[in-house]
Structure formats: C-alpha cells, structure tokens
Amino acid sequence: PSPRSCQLNGGSEEALQCEIEELKQKDLALDQEIAQFLSEGYSLEELEKHISLLHEYNDIKDAGQMLLGKLAVIRGVTTKQLYPEYDLELSD
C-alpha cells in the first residue's frame, strides 16, 4: 500500500492497519539492507558509527542552514544569494 492510500481515511482502523503494513515493509527493507552490508564485510559497529556520524553531520548542516537563513533575513536577501559569498555550492 502507498502512503497516500493510508492517509485517505485518517485515523480509521483500516488506515492504521495500512500504516502498520507499510512500517513492516520498511523494517524488512532495512533488515535486507543491513544484511547486504554485513555480507560485504561491514560490521554492525561500523554501520552504527557511520549512522551516528551522518546524524551529527545532518545536525551541523541544519544549524548552518538556520544561520544562513537568519543572516539572509537580516540582509534582506535570499539564502541562495549568500552561497557565493561563503564559497558554498547549491548542492552543499
């Protein structure tokens, strides 16, 4: 079931069952992805460390984006206009 089909009925029992099924499918997909990494020689500790570092990176990036946004508001420009000033790529 697609997420859209689960949201149609709001909090109905059918929608909740649909959401549960989606979560089970996501769980299975993640288990398969982990198994793939393990079969490639990665350890659970490496995977957990990598995930932790990705979370830290995303938190830092989010903070930087918030600061750029506040600076853009103060200067009356768009965030995009600040990127060249700080040698940032739009994909950063």
Residue span of the structural domain in which 85 resides: 43-91
Residue 59 confidence (pLDDT) above 50: yes
The length of the chain in residues reads 92
Statement to judge: residues 57 and 74 lie in one domain: yes
Nearest to 3 by CA among 13, 20, 12: 20
The count of structural domains within the chain is: 2
**Coil, strand, or helix at residue 2?**
coil
- 2-54 residue pLDDT tens: 445 565 555 688 889 999 999 999 999 999 998 998 899 989 899 899 999 99
CB 47 within 8 A of CB 34: yes
Is there a domain that residue 4 lies in? no
